[in-house]
Amino acid sequence: MTGRLDIDNVTTAYDKADVLDGVSLTIEPGRITCLLGSNGSGKTTLIRSILGLTPPRAGRIVFDGADITALPTHKVIAAGIACIPEGRKVFPKLSVEENLRLGAYQEPSEDVTQERMTEIYRLFPRLRERRMQLAGTMSGGEQAMVSIGRGLMRAPKLLLIDEPSLGLSPLFVKENFNIIRQIKERGITVFLVEQNVHQTLAIADYGFVLSKGKVVMQGTADELSKTKEVHEAYFG
């Protein structure tokens, strides 16, 4: 099983409100690992650091034994990581199909790309119906499907999912979590960044809590959901 990510004492300055101060955590292969934390705790900065969008000032990020700390983003992706970004970030003026194709940008074989696209369309039949529509003209829920499908087109070893339920209707949020569970069943390691503690801990195997740029707590999902501090921090 591959998809192991070791983050070792990473310090990153993104903007003043959202920094990492010596974060260490490990994402074990084949599991859903979640990262909880309020706004400004450094969650997005951690994702940016892993992807090489905001390279860390100090520390090391190791993916399946290879140091990816100083790599440019396209090489991080080439190592087998994909991302479903916060706010979905579909390309608004590209069609659904073009968006999906970009997910498999580094896949040289057209046959493999087609195969994966067929699979995505099986998962989201609605995307097949709308494959020629410009992604920017779709509803939030549909854009979320495009964004998830695009991330899966890469067939990654590790999938980073940043705030998937932000701005979606409760019904779709529920569906989203079902899909994440299915992704894990395909053997893809998932790193899930969320604010929706209850539903996140229901599907996650292990979790970390980030506060003011530091990991303040970690444990299995069961342990975390019983922890007083997590409850206090999120449910008041």
Q: Give the interface with another protein as residue ranges (CB under 8 A).
A: 51, 53, 72-74, 77-78, 82-83, 85, 89, 91-94, 98, 101-103, 105-106, 136-140, 143, 150, 154, 167
* Residue 105 vs 178, nearer CB to another protein: 105
The strand ranges marked E within the chain are 5-15, 18-27, 32-36, 58-63, 66-67, 81-84, 158-162, 189-194, 206-211, 214-220
Helix (H) or strand (E) holding 233: helix 228-235
Provide, rounded to whole angstroms, the least separation between the CB of residue 5 and another protein: 16
* Residue 68 vs 209, nearer CB to another protein: 68
Provide, rounded to whole angstroms, the least separation between the CB of residue 167 and another protein: 6
How far apart, in whole angstroms, are the C-alpha atoms of residue 156 and residue 189? 8
* Residue 22 vs 92, nearer CB to another protein: 92
Provide, rounded to whole angstroms, the least separation between the CB of residue 133 and another protein: 12
CA distances from 53 to 5, 13, 20, 199 (A): 17, 12, 14, 29
Provide, rounded to whole angstroms, the least separation between the CB of residue 147 and another protein: 9
